[in-house]
Amino acid sequence: MDVLRIVLLSFLIICALAVSFSKRLLVSVSIYMAFSLVMAIIWLLLESPDLAITEAAVGAGVISILLFITLKKIRSIRTEASNETKPEV
């Protein structure tokens, strides 16, 4: 059990560093989602199922979906802005 906790905690540290150094936003959101899922597992191992369910639902679920929607909106704004600045021939 202690080995599992050490592996999960080291994975959390790796995720935190990876999301800090990631240059692509989609990769950062995916890493954040993995971070939230591992955090939910850690809460479950600490015998706190209410926090585990909340972390899984809010951290990995709702916030990740909102971030994916935000990325989609940002990319569509950039596409419309680049179409407006192109001169017509």
In tens, the pLDDT along 47-87 reads 999 999 999 999 888 998 998 898 888 875 565 556 666 66
Q: Does residue 89 sit within a domain?
A: no
> Residue 17 is encoded by which pair of tokens?
């560093």
> Residue 70 is encoded by which pair of tokens?
């935000």
Q: In which domain, by residue range, is 62 found?
A: 2-83
Q: Does residue 88 sit within a domain?
A: no
Domain total of the chain: 1
Residue (of 88, 8, 14) closest to 43 by Cα position: 8
> Residue 28 is encoded by which pair of tokens?
């950062």
Residue (of 6, 76, 65, 69) closest to 32 by Cα position: 65
Per 3-state DSSP, the chain is made up of helix, strand and coil in percentages (nearest 5) of 90, 0, 10
pTM of the shown model: 0.77
pLDDT tens-digit readout, 1-57: 789 999 999 999 999 999 999 988 888 889 999 999 999 999 999 999 999 999 999
Q: Does residue 61 sit within a domain?
A: yes
Q: Does residue 75 sit within a domain?
A: yes
